[in-house]
Chain A
């Protein structure tokens, strides 16, 4: 496990690189995109285990903190979703350099799934596949779950400061549009069934022949109870590794 920085200047990003346990003639690489806020804190352990399992399966892996989150530079109040998509691009470039791989698989959880899908659309030729773990399907549904949908000018969510710009970007999240734009072999893995999943299921064929939606009977790795128990979502991690292998 090698901690390092990617990006530069005021946007230096903390990352952890894990080399593959087995060398391949054609190297494969995976970048992991975290959730944000309390979900990031809660999911960190599961994301670390996912990175380790992927490296054992032969992937060069890199997980990184967005600007204003984790150990990266900056304050969250100055962050926005567009900037995080740029951070994902920096991570992809860094990982390609380290791994010597022409393309990278992106695995994103929650808001990380949004970041990954959008980065995949922007860098289509550099992306091999996409795994979206419990993605936010609809911005309005997500904001309702945070109990802030009807609170204009809210400045803080569960102790995390958020700019009005970021809030507007959250409001505009539409997974179906992002999937349609990504055009890459995609697995959408869901542990918590929401109302919006019915629409997503119906529209999945339009997202492309290579997009699959799977529900899995596992706990949500981004919930607080997982942090209290230290539980790691083994079934979901196994499924992701199998699907990518």
Chain B
């Protein structure tokens, strides 16, 4: 292991059931926030292509304590026993992890990092906890806009197999458009329990961003063009027109990347831009 950081197995949470790896810098940056990396879907804390291991090690070498852990029921963490809904279970796990970091490692300020569902969990959680000072949101859920559909449709109609899918009514594009029309035209009853399914149409998502901005949380939105989430750099601003992001949001767009940043050089660039953004975060 490099001499610039050390890695430790940790068990967090009220039942010590959340398994994680804490990377501790040999030379911590003064007042640097701790980084907490959240699961993508049900993939365990290592991440797709081991991306979170390399990210954690690089950020720890740069002076940040970094924790990667598994939500309850994912990877090596046990299931919760309180029967919370999936989203509320993840949010409760984050709270317990931050409590443990504060109690045992004197962590007062945290940046949450997540890709896809991990990013959604991060922004949904940030509204409720003043310890969260920053969010790195990689391909989070955002509502589709007219310009999004223009790009999305133009990209897909160039491919024969998409025409075949439309002709056979198996098209994801068609399904997405119908969902959009349904949500736009017909008033939809919001589910009693918050879910990630249909989150882009939930008022709770916009409220979460608005609340994060109000609290002064700094956000770094990273989008890849070959992901179904966003097709252009400014989509976040267009999608949340009522949220005055101001200088609390920085955006980075990867025109050549897929949803999971599969090529190694794209992941190296992702690590570099995150490190750069963290370096610009002001201390307390």
Q: Which of A's residues lie within 8 Å of B, judged by CB?
A: 1, 3-5, 10, 12, 14, 16, 38, 41, 44-45, 48, 69-71, 73, 75-76, 156, 158-161, 227-228, 230
Contact = CB atoms under 8 A, between A and B. Distances in A.
B158 interface: no
Nearest to A71: B21
Interface residues of B, number: 26
Contacts of A45: 42, 44
B267 interface: yes
Interface of B: 1, 7, 9, 11, 19, 21, 41-46, 48-50, 53-54, 75-76, 78, 260-264, 267
B239 to A, nearest CB: 25
Contact of B46 (A10, A41, A48, A73): A41
Given A1-B76, A227-B42, A159 B262 contact: yes
- Kindly list the 7 A-B residue pairs having the minimum CB-CB distance in the complex, ordered from nearest: A159-B49, A159-B262, A3-B9, A230-B42, A73-B1, A70-B46, A44-B44
A71 B53 contact: yes
A159 B263 contact: yes
A54 to B, nearest CB: 16
Contacts of A70: 46, 50, 53
Contact of A158 (B7, B21, B45, B262): B262
B262 A14 contact: no
Contacts of A230: 42
Contact of B76 (A3, A158, A159, A228): A3
A160 B9 CA distance: 24
Nearest to A158: B262
A1 B16 CA distance: 11
Contacts of A160: 49-50
B23 to A, nearest CB: 10
Contacts of A228: 41
17 contacts: A1-B19, A1-B76, A1-B78, A5-B9, A41-B43, A44-B75, A45-B42, A45-B44, A48-B75, A70-B50, A71-B7, A159-B48, A159-B263, A159-B264, A160-B49, A160-B50, A227-B43
Nearest to B44: A44
Contacts of B267: 159
A76 B264 CA distance: 12
A161 B53 contact: no
Nearest to A72: B53
B167 to A, nearest CB: 24
A230 B46 CA distance: 16
Nearest to B258: A159
B41 A69 contact: no
A5 B9 CA distance: 9
Given A10-B1, A156-B263, A156-B264, A3 B19 contact: yes
A227 B43 CA distance: 7
